[in-house]
Amino acid sequence: MFDIDAIRRQFPALQVPAAVYLDSAATAQKPKVVLDAIQSAYQQGHANVHRGNHQLTANATAAFEAARKTVQHFINATFSQEIIWTRGATEALNLIAQSYARPRLQPGDIILVGEMEHHANIVPWQMVAEQTGATIQKIPMSRDCQLDMAAFDALLTDKVKIVAVAHITNVTGTRQPIETLIQKAHEVGAIVVVDGAQGIVHENVDVQALDADFYVFSGHKLFAPTGIGVLYGKKALLDAMPPWHGGGKMVEKVSFSGTTFTGLPGKFEAGTPNISGAVALSTAIQWLSELDRDGAEAHILTLKDKAIAALSSLDDLRFIGLQTHSGVFSFVIDGIHYQDIAMLLDQQNIAVRAGNHCAHPLCDALNIAGTIRVSIALYNTEEDIDKFIAALTKACDLL
């Protein structure tokens, strides 16, 4: 059984009196077991990994590589070498763009990018298109914030080399039909890059079943620390890609006559990595895997339904692309600036996100400057939603 009281007690940051945190899509709070893992990594025999001959570094290396295997099993990757540590989803997407796409793309090639994407899954493709002469074409969205699949089918030709889409979008919580997108892209020989920063939080991900070529996510949205993320790629693709960053650990031999590089995953992990972050991400995954995830999602959606039912009665409030997946929803209130609403909510100890959410093209398509976004996590309660509804109602009355 999903026990919200037991869950909530595990999050020290949520013990602050009267604080209501409804911004988990930006970054999630951390359970004590994760905080303890970070502290332990530094207090109990801290050392660098894959370097040195002493027992401390051997222990650190073992924990670091065990964390990689935890991620491998969590997403059902075939090999642990398919798990590349990055600073987050953004760095992972840039790595794919520069190491996979840049050496392969040429003028006339097409990259399809969803109109609803986070900037992190747009800008790296714009940069590599400028570098190679390739062209970016957007997969347009409908007014209800779904990808236009008919338009996608029309865009999909043998000139398309890469399709970049989110699993679940960060503004509206739209769950994209990534299974269909992947299948159709593969039929024309394109590879698919999935931004899973939001999706990994709300679904069990099986990259083999998806047949995803690349799948990326950040640790900090998955109850782990900031500064750690994962790039999953099929081994054959990663093997064929050159290193992106140069430095220590990713080499076999360096000389002024030439350098040879190590194999996977080391060739993509130059320098001293975020050791504590990797270990803490592993801890977060183990903690999450022991929960009733179906019960957690049911709890989240119950709270979301409660909030939406109450907000539907407020004058001039419009939901933006309201979806049934995840705990994310966005809205605007006609005649009131979203920043004013967010400020008044903050003054009542309610934390939400207001702005364009790093999704300018989505906002442009809907002819809005931004939204108020509420993102509900498994640690939120009915009392949180009641306080949010009361605070928003008061803010609207004041404005």
CATH for 164: 3.40.640.10
- The structural domain count of the chain equals 2
pLDDT at 31: 98
Banded model confidence at residue 165, pLDDT cuts 50, 70, 90 = very high
Q: Are strands 258-261 and 317-320 parallel, antiparallel or unpaired?
A: unpaired
Quick check: helix, strand or coil at residue 288?
helix
Res 207 pLDDT > 90: yes
Structural Rg of the chain based on CA atoms: 22
**392 & 328 share domain:** yes
Q: What is the Cβ-side half-sphere exposure of residue 141, based on CA atoms within 13 angstroms?
A: 27
Of 271, 289, 307, the residue at which a domain comes to its end is 289
* Largest pairwise CA distance in the chain: 72
User: What is the helix (H) or strand (E) element at residue 353, kind and residue range?
Assistant: strand 353-355
pLDDT tens readout for residues 297-328: 999 999 999 999 999 999 999 999 998 888 99
**55 & 87 share domain:** yes
**186 & 308 share domain:** no
Contact 350, 305 (CB under 8 A): no
**187 & 336 share domain:** no
pLDDT at 18: 67
Res 347 pLDDT > 90: yes
Note down the domain range covering 110: 34-289
Look over the chain and give the mean of its residue pLDDT values, rounded to a whole number: 96
pLDDT tens readout for residues 95-104: 999 999 999 9
User: What is the helix (H) or strand (E) element at residue 160, kind and residue range?
Assistant: strand 160-166
Q: How far is residue 74 from each of residues 44, 195, 208, 232, measured CA to CA in Å?
A: 26, 16, 12, 12
Contact 29, 13 (CB under 8 A): yes
**253 & 334 share domain:** no
Q: What CATH number is associated with residue 12?
A: 3.90.1150.10
**134 & 195 share domain:** yes
Banded model confidence at residue 53, pLDDT cuts 50, 70, 90 = confident
Active site residues: 358
Mean of pLDDT values over 352-378 = 96
Nearest to 247 by CA among 269, 229, 230: 269
391 CB-near residues (< 8 Å, 6+ apart): 20, 344, 345, 348, 350
Mean of pLDDT values over 50-64 = 92
pLDDT tens readout for residues 82-141: 999 999 999 999 999 999 999 999 999 999 999 999 999 999 999 999 999 999 999 999
Of 254, 289, 324, the residue at which a domain comes to its end is 289
> Tokens for 224?
């782990």
Res 16 pLDDT > 80: no
**181 & 48 share domain:** yes
Of 262, 289, 316, the residue at which a domain comes to its end is 289
**189 & 108 share domain:** yes
pLDDT at 1: 73
**298 & 382 share domain:** yes
Mean of pLDDT values over 339-368 = 96
pLDDT tens readout for residues 216-267: 999 999 999 999 999 999 999 999 999 999 998 898 899 999 999 999 999 9
**304 & 168 share domain:** no
Q: How far apart are CA 302 and CA 124, in angstroms?
A: 37
The pTM for the full model equals 0.96
**300 & 360 share domain:** yes
**17 & 86 share domain:** no
Res 17 pLDDT > 80: no
